[in-house]
């Protein structure tokens, strides 16, 4: 059974679930799908092969970017202002907020799904007892995860719950905004790229910050018992639209000082560094929810870019230092030379 959990969780939630699309099918995904031998597909940047490495692969476009992270009614009602033929107004904080919240809800859902998976695993491990046969069956399930991790159960639980604070905190703040209809407690950056780009992306960077932090950026605990430093959350969307533009949205909670600091760093970058920093952010934080037009993937293959894409997808971003410059990709996918028009996608 797939994990099902509505991000909103209030008394208007219904039991019924359908797969909610994080990137709107009609407004966004239709613009990046294309015919392949297996039908109408998109290229999923976050596909993992059997060895656990990232290896982009085509998937059916209707299945892409769909998760059980909103109940049926919330998925239907909440996002109407950013669905279908609505033209995104980059000055409309409500619309920006909905995009940002939808990206975050997906990341939050994946975190909960992961926590549930580990909880089930630990439970199953404890039930094995002394049976060698059961132990063998249990170990046979794993391809990547080394079973010795389970002996560090306490550390595992601690790490999961530690990083979960950051997720809980952002969720609470987003729900406060939603419920009060006030969207100004986030800081937004929007960039309108004057061409339609052949990819779409939604996700959140939960950066790991390396000390020392400048004094004013140290985050004090949110609640008693919370960890002192939480991961800053930088939400990031790339949305090609029907009006032959691409809207790029980045956002952070205003009191998430480290995330706002990261956001400010993007402001100061000239081209082409900005494009390279956005590309790297997409590879590091958003790959699970980034989809390329199949013709664009062919183009990248022909021009020998694919090995660089795969190399960077499989690199760990590591720690972000508040004092260093932003991490850059070797590639700039936000280059006008890579727009749909420039590479011949209608
Ligand atoms: Zn709901």
Task: Say how far residue 36 (Cα) sits from the centre of its chain.
Answer: 26
CA of 69 to the centre of ligand 1 (A): 9
CA of 233 to the centre of ligand 1 (A): 23
CA of 137 to the centre of ligand 1 (A): 38
233 beta partners: 206
pLDDT of residue 133: 81
Q: In the structure, what pLDDT confidence band is assigned to residue 183 with cuts at 50, 70 and 90?
A: very high
Q: Is the pLDDT of residue 220 over 50?
A: no
pLDDT of residue 221: 43
Q: In the structure, what pLDDT confidence band is assigned to residue 142 with cuts at 50, 70 and 90?
A: low
CA of 102 to the centre of ligand 1 (A): 13
Give 174's contacts (C-beta < 8 A, 6+ positions apart): 97, 100, 101, 104
Give me the mean pLDDT over the 284-307 stretch: 97
Give me the mean pLDDT over the 99-112 stretch: 93
Residue 71 token pair: 């109940």
Q: Is the pLDDT of residue 155 over 90?
A: no
Question: Pick from 233, 187, 182: which is nearest to 208 by CA?
Answer: 233
CA of 105 to the centre of ligand 1 (A): 12
* pLDDT tens by residue, 75-86: 999 999 998 777
Q: Is the pLDDT of residue 100 over 60?
A: yes
CA of 24 to the centre of ligand 1 (A): 18
Q: Is the pLDDT of residue 52 over 60?
A: yes
CA of 76 to the centre of ligand 1 (A): 10
Q: What is the dihedral sign for C-alpha 334, 337, 339, 343?
A: negative
Give me the mean pLDDT over the 190-213 stretch: 88
Q: In the structure, what pLDDT confidence band is assigned to residue 308 with cuts at 50, 70 and 90?
A: very high
CA of 174 to the centre of ligand 1 (A): 15
Give me the mean pLDDT over the 298-323 stretch: 93
Q: Is the pLDDT of residue 93 over 70?
A: yes
Q: Which helix (H) or strand (E) holds 118?
A: helix 93-127
**Could you tell me what percent of the chain has a pLDDT over 90?**
61
Q: Which helix (H) or strand (E) holds 342?
A: helix 340-343
CA of 98 to the centre of ligand 1 (A): 15
Give 68's contacts (C-beta < 8 A, 6+ positions apart): 2, 3, 4, 5, 17, 18, 19, 20, 109
pLDDT of residue 161: 65
Question: Mean pLDDT, the chain, as a whole number?
Answer: 87
Q: Is the pLDDT of residue 222 over 60?
A: no
Q: pTM, whole model, 2 decimals?
A: 0.87
Measured CA distances, 232 to 15, 20, 314 (Å): 33, 26, 22
CA of 82 to the centre of ligand 1 (A): 18
pLDDT of residue 289: 95
CA of 43 to the centre of ligand 1 (A): 30
Give me the mean pLDDT over the 146-156 stretch: 60
**Could you tell me what percent of the chain has a pLDDT over 70?**
88
């Amino acid at each position: 059974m797939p994990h099902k959990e509505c991000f909103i969780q209030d008394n208007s939630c219904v039991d019924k679930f359908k797969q909610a699309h994080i990137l709107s099918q009609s407004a966004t995904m239709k613009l990046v799908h294309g015919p392949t031998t297996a039908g109408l597909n998109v290229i999923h940047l976050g596909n993992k092969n059997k060895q656990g490495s990232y290896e982009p692969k085509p998937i059916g476009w209707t299945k892409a970017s769909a998760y059980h992270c909103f109940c049926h009614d919330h998925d239907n009602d909440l996002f109407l202002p950013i669905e279908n033929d609505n033209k995104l107004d980059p000055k409309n904080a409500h619309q920006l907020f909905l995009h940002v919240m939808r990206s975050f809800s997906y990341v939050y859902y994946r975190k909960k799904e992961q926590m549930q998976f580990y909880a089930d695993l630990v439970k199953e491990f404890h039930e094995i007892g002394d049976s060698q046969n059961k132990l063998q069956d249990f170990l046979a399930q794993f391809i990547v995860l080394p079973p010795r991790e389970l002996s560090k159960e306490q550390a595992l639980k601690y790490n999961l719950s530690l990083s979960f604070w950051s997720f809980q905190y952002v969720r609470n703040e987003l729900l406060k905004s939603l419920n009060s209809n006030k969207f100004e407690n986030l800081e937004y950056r929007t960039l309108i790229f004057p061409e339609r780009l052949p990819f779409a992306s939604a996700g959140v960077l939960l950066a790991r910050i390396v000390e020392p932090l400048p004094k004013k950026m140290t985050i004090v605990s949110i609640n008693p018992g919370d960890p002192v430093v939480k991961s800053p959350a930088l939400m990031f969307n790339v949305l090609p639209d029907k009006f032959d533009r691409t809207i790029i949205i980045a956002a952070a909670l205003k009191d998430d000082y480290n995330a706002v600091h990261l956001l400010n760093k993007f402001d100061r970058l000239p081209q082409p560094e900005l494009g390279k920093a956005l590309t790297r952010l997409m590879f590091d934080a958003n790959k699970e929810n980034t989809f390329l037009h199949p013709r664009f993937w062919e183009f990248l293959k022909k021009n020998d870019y694919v090995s660089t894409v795969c190399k960077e997808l499989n690199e760990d971003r590591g720690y972000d230092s508040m004092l260093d410059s932003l991490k850059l990709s070797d590639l700039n996918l936000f280059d006008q030379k890579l727009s749909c028009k420039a590479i011949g996608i209608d």
